[in-house]
Chain A
């Protein structure tokens, strides 16, 4: 069993749809990170969370420490949101296998 589990693995959405990606972890953490990797390979850190909720533009990330669960939401999705989204935890680093998102115009 992986220390960080993400779902779904692949997701296709129509432009404008509300999207949720889930992440569950089984280890103690100091923080949880949501990362975005575009087809070219570059990775951008979207959020670092240790509690509660953060919002940046159309992106919202939440974490429930008791349930060891986090969600990444994208409102009003757009084709440029198409990327792989990776959940990672730190303290000891573990990475999820990523969610490949495709937003269709």
Chain B
């Protein structure tokens, strides 16, 4: 099946620094990628939808200047958490759909961010 790889799987950083998380589709071209956030014992919260070559669409309440999303190619989207603070600590997950746009979702392994 299709594979989506996320990196890093976990990261610890100091407050005020920026952290970049990568999401790659390894064996298919992903026109659309999604970024989610998940707090402990809660379900996924969609943060934004990114389409290759265009600006991401952010969900209500998600700060686009805080969570920078870039989808520069059909196989790579990045999420940068800028000036991270402890409240940004969370589990971040990406998913992708293929160019055939069947709508099936393929998920990355997730990235656990801890901001000290």
Identify the A interface with B (CB < 8 A): 30-31, 33, 35, 41-45, 48, 86, 88, 90, 93, 95-98
Contact indicator per residue, chain B 42-53, by CB within 8 Å of chain A (1) or not (0): 111110010000
B103 in contact with A96 (CB, 8 Å): no
Q: Interface majority SS on B: helix, strand, loop or mixed?
A: strand
A44 in contact with B103 (CB, 8 Å): no
Name which residue of chain A comes closest to B91, CB basis: A41
A5 to B19, CA, bound (A): 34
A48 in contact with B105 (CB, 8 Å): yes
Total of A-B residue pairs, C-beta within 8 Å: 45
Chain A contacts for B67, CB-based, 8 A: none
Identify the B interface with A (CB < 8 A): 34, 38, 42-46, 49, 91, 93, 95, 102-107, 109-110, 112
A93 to B35, CA, bound (A): 12
Name which residue of chain A comes closest to B109, CB basis: A42
Contact of B43 among A30, A90, A96 (CB under 8 A): A96
